[in-house]
Amino acid sequence: MISEAKSLKLITIYFYVCERYDEELKYHCQRFSNNKKPKLTDQEIMTIYLFVVIEEQRFKIKQIHRFADDYLRSWFPELDSYQAFNNRINRLSGAFSQLAETLISEFKPTDCSQEQSLLDSMPIVTCSGKSSPHVAKELIDKSYCSTKNMWYHGLKLHALGFQRKGKLPFPEQLLLTPASESDLNVFKNNWSTIIDRSFFGDKIYSDKDFFQQLKNQRNSIMYTPVKAIKGQSDWERKFDRAANDLFSRTVSAVRQPIESFFNWLIQKTDFQIASKVRSTKGSLVHVFGKLAAAFIPLIF
């Protein structure tokens, strides 16, 4: 059994998922067949996943199923075996992706800045760089994470976030790419058409010519910490050091909340480590299911 307060949350999540399912999520589910009507519905499976991840902090599919079997059986009497539950979950990656997108767009806070955005990315690790990946090879590849000083196989989550004074930024858009995809290329391909915006990123977004053109054409500016100029003399570096260090610290301070946003995601959902994922569909559920779970409390 679960407490009355948690029971109310479970009911609220279920009704919200059912509402969204009837309007849009059902079009993003992988079906066994057109006539297949399982006793345990897609809505119930999504509810179990979202509730157990965010309320009980059980992050692995086996842990989620075990908790549901032990404590939610009276709510979901048709709950099947772990293997069947896992197979059903993997068919809902598209629905979880759509749900995460809906939650972000539907519950956008009113204090989001329309003039300043923060940029960053986070690795999602399936195995170390020394190992050879055996699953989701069409999704993942190998890359180096300078922040953690490691080579890894996996994915990368890119975030464009609205700045909010004194609060975590709220995502305007989240994109998933293979690990080796450059943050700068993601920006150029997806966000370079945004007008009248000030962006704050790290040194990876340094491209003087491109962002000068962006400023001229879109009236948008990219601010990054000052990157050392190759071939610059020691005298020139020392002459500009004070101003460059001050500017770099200011930019880093402005964009620091986007790093806190990723830390929040990790704490809420154990999002970064995907070493237990065993399939392409499982990789997508790990990402989009955890994102949907992180933002489902917005409905309360």
Do 66 and 139 fall into the same domain?
no
**pLDDT over 90 (residue 19):** yes
Do 258 and 194 fall into the same domain?
yes
CA torsion angle 185 190 193 195 (round to 10):
-100
Note whether residue 153 is domain-resident: yes
Name the strand (E) or helix (H) holding 153.
Answer: strand 150-162
Give 161-200 pLDDT, tens digit per residue: 999 999 999 999 999 999 999 999 999 999 999 999 999 9
Q: Residue 21, SS3?
A: helix
State how far Cα 42 lies from the chain centre: 22
Look up residue 284 and give its two tokens: 């997508």
Do 37 and 171 fall into the same domain?
no
Do 256 and 201 fall into the same domain?
yes
Residue 23 to residue 19: CA distance in whole angstroms: 6
Residues 141-149 have a mean pLDDT of 86
**pLDDT over 70 (residue 32):** no
Give 118-129 pLDDT, tens digit per residue: 999 999 998 887
What residues does 223 pair with on adjacent strands? 200
**pLDDT over 90 (residue 211):** yes
Residue 125 to residue 271: CA distance in whole angstroms: 9
CA angle 273, 157, 224 (to 5 degrees): 120
Give 37-89 pLDDT, tens digit per residue: 788 999 999 999 999 999 999 999 999 999 999 999 999 999 999 999 999 99
Q: What is the 3-state secondary structure (H, E, C) of 192-245?
A: CCCCCCEEECCHHHCCHHHHHHHHHHHCCEEECCCCCCCCCCHHHHHHHHHHHH
Note whether residue 285 is domain-resident: no
pLDDT band at 138 (very low <50, low <70, confident <90, very high): confident
Residue 142 to residue 126: CA distance in whole angstroms: 10
Q: What is the CA radius of gyration of the chain?
A: 22
Note the pTM of the prediction, 2 decimals.
0.91
Give 241-300 pLDDT, tens digit per residue: 777 888 889 999 999 999 999 999 999 999 898 888 878 888 999 999 999 999 999 999
Residue 88 to residue 194: CA distance in whole angstroms: 39
CA proximity to 289, closest of 12, 25, 11: 25
Do 189 and 70 fall into the same domain?
no
Check: CB of residue 63 under 8 Å from CB of residue 57: no
DSSP summary character for residue 276: T
Do 58 and 15 fall into the same domain?
yes
End-to-end CA distance of the chain: 21
Residue 288 to residue 85: CA distance in whole angstroms: 17
Do 61 and 123 fall into the same domain?
no
pLDDT score at 99: 97
- Count: domains in the chain: 2
Do 159 and 245 fall into the same domain?
yes
Residue 18 to residue 24: CA distance in whole angstroms: 10
Do 124 and 80 fall into the same domain?
no
**pLDDT over 90 (residue 109):** yes
> Could you tell me the residue range of the domain that residue 51 belongs to?
4-91
Note whether residue 100 is domain-resident: no
